[in-house]
Amino acid sequence: MNQHITAAAVGIVAALATSLAFHAYAPAPKPHTVTVMTGAASPTAVARAVAQQWPEIEQRYVDALALALKTVAAEDRQPVVIFCQDDIKCGDLGLNLENSFESAHWTVTRETPLADSTTGIGVSDQKMLDMIARTTSLKPTLIQANLHGQVAVVIGRKPKE
């Protein structure tokens, strides 16, 4: 029995020695290189980003839309879904519209579509389109949307000025 214990102990010592030798002579891992870009973006890149971003609408327009929305009877109010593909480009405007609907006690949600080819502001309901156009500085167009009883407000790519 001592023979088996001795053989096992020798095997364990040999395995540990091999492992330690491998780690001692193994090449050191190469350090990771991290490149940090500093400095301001080019004026062209900044101008392009600004040109693609929808600005906020003025508070007076947010309030005017909310007042108009309050005039709609509760039984005629359909839930509204505001679609914004890129929060950087249309998040502020989406939040302005959401505030108008919430102030008027409408059910409103904001969603990010998987794909959006809309240019400008699209609205799936003619009455809602007219209300937005009449009370804000926006110029929405009528779009087709199958949302089963919900009104879509799609904030697409900002048209070139």
Confidence (pLDDT) at 119: 86
Q: Is residue 97 part of a domain?
A: yes
> Does 61 fall in a domain?
yes
Instruction: Give the DSSP H/E element, type plus range, for residue 143.
Output: none
62 close to 72: Cβ distance less than 8 angstroms: no
Give the CA distances from residue 45 to residues 42, 50, 71, in Å, rounded to whole numbers and listed in that order: 5, 9, 44
Residue 110 lies in a domain: yes
pLDDT tens across 58-81, in order?
999 999 999 999 999 999 999 999
pTM of the model: 0.68
pLDDT of residue 143: 93
Residue 12, domain member (yes or no)? no
Other CB atoms within 10 A of residue 118 CB: 16
β-partners of residue 151 are 80
Q: How confident is the model over 16-25, as pLDDT tens digits?
A: 555 544 445 5
Read off the tokens for 118.
Answer: 């809309």
| Domain-embedded: residue 24 | no
Q: How many domains in the chain? A: 1
Residues of the domain holding 79: 56-155
Q: Within a domain: residue 3? A: no
Q: Are 155 and 93 in contact (CB under 8 A)?
A: yes
